[in-house]
Every structure is written in structure tokens, then in C-alpha cells.
Structure 1
Amino acid sequence: MTTRANPAAVPAHDPIALSRRLYRRGNRLLGPIAFSATLEDPRTVLQALRVEPGQHVLCLASAGDIGIALLATNPRRVTAVDLSLPQLHLTELKRTAVAFLPHDGYLALLGASPGSRGRGGSPATAAYQALRPELPDAVRQFWDGRLDMIDAGLLWQGAVSRLATLAGPLWLPFAGAAPQRTALLLRRVADGAHRPLCCPAPVDYPGLATRADRLVLRHGDVRQRLRAEPAGGIDRFALSNVADWLTPAGWHALLAEVVRTAAPGARVLACSRRRRLEVPSGLRERLRPDRRLERTLLGADRIRYFRSLTVLTVQGRDSGGTDATPSARGART
């Protein structure tokens, strides 16, 4: 995911503020795209959320892969939010590719098929030229100026992947409490071993293409996005590791907005690289964790980027779902 809080609201010595500054500086040095491929396992997200057909899902746009994977559940709408315009341009490129390119063209565009990368005139570049007329103007202008990234293989152009390739060995002495997991992550990111996880399977692709227009992109902070949403209008929340970029107070405020905008029985997935996420005492009657499922999903996760997963179900005030009115629920058709 890509999000940040107001730097003025966080003390300069705060480690979260330091992480944000390093993140932004790394992006400036290595390019505009932080994440070119998801560091979340789409299978984990789908199993945690259990999306039902016709539901409204909110997620972080990031590299676009999770939003696209969610289309396989036949949702009414997937709202993908991000503060980074380049990440949204990447997500829109992938969304449009799903709508207009065949599966092999999609893989070629991203540099995920053998021989798709090259030095000019590659299959990746050819796929982009075929897709180019279908792109929105701002997205087309962005990628027209970065054809070298497409030619080199988009899945390998994110700052995280490039840092892992260039400086991965230097990070291992600072891996902290999980050196084996960190080493595994660096190997997977650097050599592309997890790339197939971020690309739709051929069997799912036709359904994704027919639903591509249900993935709606929104530029901004996820908290601001939720404040603009009506009460009871969202069924599922895929929050990635947004909490890692927020102060505890910011995380608690976000959860309060989740509760307000959640439909009865809504499900929430949040991840963290830093810590186990806690629900504030004032919301514990409304947000019920599923610790057994969390442990199962974390153990089976194929990417293993996160140290903790938090799966929550939103309860009504009387645990019967009466907090949202029938009219509000029925209006979401």
C-alpha cells in the first residue's frame, strides 16, 4: 500500500515518521513506483475476506494486483484508494490491460512471460502499444514517458524490488527478530519467485475481463475516503499494512471510520510488518477478531512479507447487526 499521514502531526523522532521520509527519498532515487507487484498473497486476502457476490470492497491500490484479484469474487464494486498517483497509474494500466488484452498479452505487458523483456521492440513494448489507445489521457502520458520501464519488465521496476536486488545483502544483518523470513523475502523479491502470485491465472482471466470496470480508483488518503463514504455502505475492507504508516491514534481513528462505514457483518483484513495490531478498547464490542483464522492464514501465506495478520468481523451494537438500518442496506444494489 501507499499512504502517509501529515508529517507535521508526527514528532520528528518518531520511527514511523522516519520510515515515511526514507520511503519518499527512496522513491525519488529509484523511480516513481514503489510497488510494481503486490507483496500480499492474493489467496490470503480472498480467504480472509470471504467476499460474496454483489458486495462492495475497499482496498489499497498499491500495485493493483489485489484489486484485480478481488474481481474474481464477482463484487458489485472494488474501490481502490492510494495517495500515490504513480501507483494509481500502474493500477489503471493493469486494469485496462485486463479489460482489453488477452492473458498472454497481460503477462507480456508486465514482463512476466519468457522473453517479454528486452531492449526496445520487446513483447512488453508491443503489448503496451496495443493497449495505449484505451488508456485515459493522464495514464497514457505517464507511461509514454516511461517506456524504458515497460521494456525492462514492469514487475521488476518497483523501488522495493530494486532495493532488494541492489542492497538486499546489506539488510540481512539488520533483520531483527526474523532474519530467516527477511532473507526469504529478499530472495523472492530479487529473483522474482513470487511474481506468478501477482498475475491472474488463465482460468480466472475471462471473468476478470468482464468485471474490470467494477474496479474504481480513488486518489487520496484512505481515512479521507472513508469519511466521504455513507454509513453502512462497505462490506469488506482490505487495508494492507496501512497501520504501519499511522500513529496508534491514527490507526484507531481509521478503525472508527471502518465501523461507521461497515455493512452488518463486514469483514476486515489488516497486516503489519511491525507488530500485532490491537483494537482500541472503545471498539472491541464492534470488532471481533478471528485469531484462529489469522494463525492459519499467516502460516499458509506464500509471500510471508508480513509479521502479523488481523482479521476482524464488524458487529452491530447489539451483536445483531441492527446498527445499520434496513434502508441503508437495501440502497446498496
Structure 2
Amino acid sequence: MAVQARRIIDDAVVRKAARPGEKLLDRAFAFAFKGLVYPQIWEDPVVDMEGLAIERDSRIVCIASGGCNALSYLVADPAAVVAVDLNRAHVALGRLKAAAIRHLPTYERFRRFVAEADHHENREVYDSLIAPNLDPESRRYWESRDATGRRRIGHFTRGIYRQGLLGGFIGVAHLLARLYRIDLSRVLAAETLEEQRAVFERELASVFDRRFVRWLTDHPASLFGLGIPPAQYAALAGGERMAAVLRRRLEKLACGFAVADNYFAWQAFGRAYDRRPEAALPPYLQRANWTAMRERIGRLDVRNANLEHHLGQADATSHDRYLLLDAQDWMDDAQLNALWAQITRTARPGARVLFRTAAEPSLLPGRLAPDLLDRWTYREALSADLTARDRSSIYGGVHLYELA
């Protein structure tokens, strides 16, 4: 299984037509991507659900990543959600969260395990209530040892959101900020948008002018911790220095939305969710949705698979909603057309596809074959609105297409 998983990731990440130096970077990213990358997915599920207009009979297929959004879509009451991912750690994480919903007795216990995820007793909770109900592959993952020699399930006693490539990247960013005598948590103490902006301008904006930061972010490998492969780096930069691009994206995260309503800001500047009773959390973690999650969790299926291959095995006109995250930024034209051929074949009338891009424009025009692209209508105004309201703030564009 491990060999097969490595091959799936290599096939998706390593560009066949790349120069030798580019392939070396691709392989380095593929190696880094084989472990846990996203303990929390970094796309706004509220924006997703508004764009997709999920209905009672909707059959959704999405990329799992950290599992938060696939779980959150159940709040919209679809018929089924299939979440696929190349990364077996993400699959194990999604299945663990689903098992916690099924088998933990109360919302309070679930919140302590998944949302707070740093209580010592979580290890015992896993052993007694979750592990006996977890599939063998996921159980092997969580009970195996990480690079430090400790069981991976121990992440839930030390703070799962500080783990993985993304958690490590944010940790390094906090360390670098401290070296420059910047306290990132001050953003979270601000009580108004005006105060948030004042903190950003006073504390954060100038760090992107530092020579070391500009030099560091000029190298594609510096963003591996954000899950950004070399193929996506150039699209994100868009001809600018990466430090300038990152400054704008961080400005939106710090100043664009009230921090009390933005759990992405809490993860970035606090490395955890806000613990106050009415704190902003992903929909699947909210108390108001606990009963619905318990009733609907059986509609979620998390699989270790390539999305194109999964759709290739599905029946024609069998799906209504597709969530691609930013995966297309990794693809060459052949991969892009192969994926959309399967999406178009399996899409029911009125189907919707939502994806994100590092750059602002949609990447489909000029790359997707006209006979495929002409089947779909780009919802331009709605896409621009969704982009503006995406609290994760790190993407250039959120794009929505509807089967014409």
C-alpha cells in the first residue's frame, strides 16, 4: 500500500516534460507531501457551499485534504460525499475525524478531541472509543511511529494543528517573527477591523521588506510547507517577487475579516482554534451542527485515490458537485483535459465545479479543449464574489463552473 501511495503522488506531482532541475524539485516536493501536510484544510467551506448550492439529492466528490470541508458539506444535507486524496495521511485523518463523530458520546468530548486536540486524555479516548471502530489501514497509520519515535495519535495530545508540513511552516513563521520581535498573536487581540489593520501595518507589513525574507521566499522550496509544489509557485508569483505576493495575501487574512469570525486567522496567528464557547469553527465542529453530523456521517466515504481515476470508474451522469481545491495548478494540459473529460462524462445536468487558483484568473481558457470548455458556463460574477469572501485569503481566485 505504501509503495502504491508513493507512486500515486509521484505521478501527480512530477512533471513529465519538466527540465531535470525542475523534476528534482518536483521529486523533493513529492517526498515532503507523502506525510501529513494539512491538519486543517485551507479553503473556506462556507464559500464552497454557497457557490455549489448543495441540494438534498446532490452527490459530491471532492479532494479530502485535511477532511474539514468534506465533513462540513454534510451540514448542507447532500445525498453523499466522496472525498479522495493521494495522501494516505490525509485519508487517515479524515477517517479518524469521521470515526470520532460516530463514536464519541458527546459534543464536548468531540470538541476536546478534534477542535482543541491537545488534551492528555485524548490518547486514552482514542484507544478505548475510536481505535476499535477505525479501519485497519487508518489504525496502522495512527498507531505507527513518526520521525521522533512517538505514536502518531499523540499529535492529538500535543496539538494536531501544530503538526504536518503546514503546522511546521506556520511554526517556523512564528519563530522568524519572534526573531524580528513581532508578536503575531496581537492580531487576535484586536477588537475591530481598524485595530487589526493597525497591528498589521505596525507589526507585520515591514517583515516582507527584510532582505532575508525576500531571499528566502524567492526559492520555490521555501513554500513546500504551504503545500505549494514547484509547478504552482510561478502561478502564485505571477511575475512578481514572492514576498510582495505573500504580503498582500497575509494582509487580507489579517485585515479583511473580523478575527472573531475567521478561524483561518486563528490558525495562522495563534496556531490553534479560538477556545471561547462561541468561537468561529469549521461547520462540522460547531455545536449547532453536532446532531446533524451524527445523523449524516454515514454519507461520507474517504478514499485513497487519484480523482481522475476515481471518476473514471464512476457511472455516467452520477455526480452533481465537484470540489477540486487548487489541484489543477499542479497539472499539465494533458492531465487537465483528462480530468475534465471525466468530470463532464460523470456530471448530471446543472452540475457545478468549484476550484481555486494561486493566480487570479481561471486557468481553463486556452488550456482546456474547446469541446470540453464549451460544455460549461463560467459564473464570473459569483466567482468574483466568492473570491472576495473567502476567509482563507491565500488564493488568487475561487472559480465556479456550471454544466451548460
TM norm. shorter chain > 0.5: yes
- 2:285 is matched with which residue? 200
Q: 1:9 aligns with which of 1, 6, 16?
A: 16
| C-alpha distance in 2 between matches for 1:247 and 1:194 | 36
Label 1:200 to 1:227 Cα distance change in 2 as closer, same or farther (>3 A). same
> Which range moved further: 267-276 or 85-94?
267-276
- 2:52 is matched with which residue? 49
**What is the number of residues matched between the two proteins?**
304
- 1:117 is matched with which residue? 118
| C-alpha distance in 1 between matches for 2:343 and 2:73 | 19
Contact 1:42 1:197 (C-alpha < 8 Å) held by counterparts: no
- 1:62 is matched with which residue? 65
| C-alpha distance in 1 between matches for 2:356 and 2:31 | 24
The alignment's C-alpha RMSD in Å is 2.6
1:1-333 maps to which residues of 2 (within 5 A)? 5=12, 7=14, 9-12=16-19, 20-27=26-33, 32-101=35-104, 102-110=106-114, 112-113=115-116, 117=118, 122-129=120-127, 130-145=129-144, 146-167=152-173, 169=176, 172-173=213-214, 174=217, 175-182=243-250, 184=253, 188-189=267-268, 191-192=270-271, 196-198=280-282, 199-274=284-359, 276=361, 277-279=363-365, 280=368, 281-315=370-404
Equivalent AA in structure 2 for residue 236 of structure 1 = R
Contact 2:318 2:346 (C-alpha < 8 Å) held by counterparts: yes
| C-alpha distance in 1 between matches for 2:29 and 2:402 | 32
Deviations 1:232-289 (A, max 9, x none): 1000001111102211332232122111110000011011124522243332321101
SS at match of 2:286: coil
Contact 1:244 1:274 (C-alpha < 8 Å) held by counterparts: no
- 1:326 is matched with which residue? none
SS at match of 1:40: coil
Question: Per-residue deviation at 1:13?
Answer: 5.3
Equivalent AA in structure 2 for residue 166 of structure 1 = V
Contact 1:109 1:125 (C-alpha < 8 Å) held by counterparts: no
| C-alpha distance in 2 between matches for 1:247 and 1:18 | 17
Q: Extract unaligned runs of 5+ from structure 2.
A: 1-7, 145-151, 178-207, 218-242, 255-263, 275-279
> Which range moved further: 277-286 or 69-78?
277-286
| C-alpha distance in 1 between matches for 2:167 and 2:269 | 6
Label 1:197 to 1:248 Cα distance change in 2 as closer, same or farther (>3 A). farther
Question: Per-residue deviation at 1:148?
Answer: 2.5
| C-alpha distance in 2 between matches for 1:14 and 1:253 | 26
| C-alpha distance in 2 between matches for 1:142 and 1:296 | 40
Question: Per-residue deviation at 1:179?
Answer: 1.6
Equivalent AA in structure 2 for residue 143 of structure 1 = W
Label 1:207 to 1:261 Cα distance change in 2 as closer, same or farther (>3 A). same
Equivalent AA in structure 2 for residue 231 of structure 1 = A
Deviations 1:79-133 (A, max 9, x none): 11111111100100011111122222222222x33xx525xxx143233233222
- The percentage of aligned residue pairs carrying the same residue is 23
Deviations 1:47-80 (A, max 9, x none): 1111100221000011111110111122221111
| C-alpha distance in 2 between matches for 1:64 and 1:227 | 22
Contact 1:37 1:65 (C-alpha < 8 Å) held by counterparts: yes
| C-alpha distance in 1 between matches for 2:19 and 2:333 | 16
SS at match of 2:387: helix
| C-alpha distance in 2 between matches for 1:131 and 1:289 | 43
- 1:320 is matched with which residue? none
Deviations 1:161-219 (A, max 9, x none): 21121146498533343423146489743523667543521111111111111111222
Label 1:18 to 1:314 Cα distance change in 2 as closer, same or farther (>3 A). farther
Q: Extract unaligned runs of 5+ from structure 1.
A: 316-333
SS at match of 2:12: coil
> Which range moved further: 64-73 or 250-259?
250-259
| C-alpha distance in 2 between matches for 1:254 and 1:49 | 19
Deviations 1:125-149 (A, max 9, x none): 2332332221112212221231322
Label 1:6 to 1:160 Cα distance change in 2 as closer, same or farther (>3 A). closer
Label 1:38 to 1:149 Cα distance change in 2 as closer, same or farther (>3 A). same
| C-alpha distance in 1 between matches for 2:305 and 2:168 | 26
SS at match of 1:99: helix
Contact 2:364 2:373 (C-alpha < 8 Å) held by counterparts: no
SS at match of 1:36: coil
| C-alpha distance in 1 between matches for 2:273 and 2:348 | 34
SS at match of 1:292: helix
> Which range moved further: 274-283 or 153-162?
274-283
Contact 2:170 2:271 (C-alpha < 8 Å) held by counterparts: no
Contact 2:63 2:323 (C-alpha < 8 Å) held by counterparts: yes
